[in-house]
Amino acid sequence: MLFGKKSGIKNKNREKYDRVRRLMWIKCESCDKLVYYKDYKDNHYICPRCGRAFIMNPKQRFDLLFDDKTWEKIPLPTLPDDPLNFVDRIPYSERLEEGRSDTGYNDAVTTADGHIGGIPTTICILNGEFMMGSMGRVAGEGIVASAEHAIQSHRPFIMVACSGGARMQENVLSLMQMARTTVAVNKLHEAKIPYIVLLTDPTYGGVTASFAMLGDINIAESGARIGFAGRRVIEQNIREKLPSNFQTADYLYEHGMVDMVVPRVELKSRLEKILAVLTHQSRPVEPITTQTPKDSDVSKKARGMGENDAYDKVLLARNENRPHFLDYVNGIVTDWTYLAGDRLFGEDAAMCGGIGFWNGFPAVVLGQEKGRTIETRQLHRFGMPNPEGYRKAQRLMRLAERFNLPVISLFDTAGAFAGSAAEERGQSEAVASTIQTGLSIKTPYIAVNVGEGGSGGAIAIGTGDRVLMLENAIYSVIAPESCASILWKDNKFKATAAAAMKLTANDMMDMRVIDKIIAEPTGGAHTDWQMTMENLANAVSEQIKLLQKTDPERLPDLRAEKFLRMTRKMEKTPARD
């Protein structure tokens, strides 16, 4: 709030008021401190004392996001005011006039064209300064028209939401905008136009329950409050105190509703990377530069090595210094953007995924991350995903299909997490649906076993058009130790079990379960990360090039035939030399 501001400043005093305001101090509504207005403006309308990000008007937001602060406003349709002749303390028509006088905008929606990272883009803004950004007929019509404009001009569409919800003064006519704006989103998806939603403070009600939560990618601005019903309403209904972080951007991230939480000053750079991948911008192949960890003792053998070749592979696949999913991403993928959440329940750090350029190919990359320190292993649950992790994988697969991006999965897990909470949330259904989604997507799909291929938790993201396997990885329905305990009644027969199970990469080739073995350095992947990543990057890139020659519509049928052929007539499979 401006220090000394009086409500109801009329248009005739606006120019004088704006001149004075530029020289004034403001009082932050969050920390109650006085801040010089110029400092506040130069800090992107964020309080420099407490970090609270305040509402930006459409011009300020366009200047923040578009290249060189250059943009062109798009004319939007208008409709007659006050369809219900609504009167409370003040006639609705007067409230509209006051909103127009105070903000200079006709209604809550403003749209413009410009460039972000050189990519032609349309941005539609729900202006929180106009009647709290509430959505009525004109706002709904503006969103629909803006989406149609983006489709016709084939531009990515970014929706910046800031709203108190549906506009009460238009009652059910406002409610219908939830359906109408969702129709517009469906059209964007059908046209394969990237639809990115930026949720700012505050965004509530019918806006979050329609177009604002349906983005291909949902971004929450740091500090934003986002929800359906307001905090006070919920507390009154349930008669209990809610957590202090309830309905914050971070809270939504933890609960899987948004892909990322981004500070205001980083929004433009983050959008540039996202749009570059989704619109298939060209990127040069950058050389891989990574270092093998210094604590990787090549000469040190793991306990149990030497019993037989099969169990040696098990121990190599589990080596704690072996590269994990995020190591491969950091070494191979450029312009990486991590995408979080299943949009249903939570974010699962055991299943990681995102978009970026793999050896110059725009792609969706996903896989299990095991962690390396005590803290990260606990965070990533040793690479054993919960149901929300697999549902996130499904969401990313469908994102890849929509924008014709290849899916690259790097699976490395002892299996899906076995716990009571996982069972309650449908672990079996989540794994089954992920297998089903992987088999049905109409885009190239390359799956790589980079370590442990454990049970259904692995095959959930292993049903690719091409299945590759690192030389010292393993693939098995159960750990050999568990197999020995069950069948031999003694864990000491684990090496015997490993040999009997035929779980090595060579065994997989003999059984035609995989399509190619990727060579590892002498001693294993943990001995030379550079060589391992180069071999992996090149092998996957080769498969992408081959698969891109096939009509995407045919890929699900070819994929289905591939897996239906597996395990048939095993007695006729030739033995390896």
Of 466 and 48, the one with more pLDDT:
466
Give the single-character DSSP code of 526. G
Q: For all residues of the chain together, what is the average pLDDT?
A: 92
Residue 243: DSSP 8-state: P
| pLDDT above 70 for 1 | no
Q: Structural domain boundaries of the chain?
A: 1-52, 55-278, 309-527
- In the chain, % of residues over pLDDT 70: 93
Which tens digit of pLDDT belongs to each residue from 408-453?
999 999 999 999 999 999 999 999 999 999 999 999 999 999 999 9
Residue 53 has pLDDT above 90, yes or no: no
User: What is the rounded distance in angstroms from the CA atom of residue 544 to the CA atom of residue 555?
Assistant: 13
* pLDDT tens string 57-99: 999 999 999 999 999 999 999 999 999 999 999 999 999 999 9
Confidence of residue 40 (pLDDT cuts 50, 70, 90): confident
How confident is residue 39, by pLDDT bands cut at 50, 70 and 90?
A: confident
Q: What is the pTM of this model?
A: 0.91
| CA 284 to centroid of chain Cα atoms | 24
At residue 440, the pLDDT reads 98
Give the count of beta carbons closer than 10 Å to the beta carbon of residue 158: 25
Instruction: Give the span between the Cα atoms of 470 and 536, in whole angstroms.
Output: 8
CA-angle at 432, arms to 382 and 401, nearest 5°: 90
- Say if residues 96 and 106 touch (Cβ distance below 8 Å): no
Q: H-type helices in 43-190, by residue range?
A: 58-65, 92-103, 137-153, 171-190
- In the predicted model, is pLDDT for residue 574 greater than 60? no
**Domain 309-527, CATH number (from 3.90.226.10, 3.30.530.20, 3.40.50.2300, 3.30.2320.80):** 3.90.226.10
Least confident of 38-42, 375-379, 487-491, 531-535: 38-42
Q: Is 309-527 the same fold as 55-278?
A: yes
Helix (H) or strand (E) holding 447: strand 445-454
Assigned CATH class of 55-278: alpha beta
pLDDT average, residue stretch 292-297: 74
Give yes or no for a contact between 379 and 389, defined as CB atoms under 8 angstroms apart: no
For 4-8, 275-279, 519-523, which range has the lowest pLDDT when averaged over its residues? 4-8
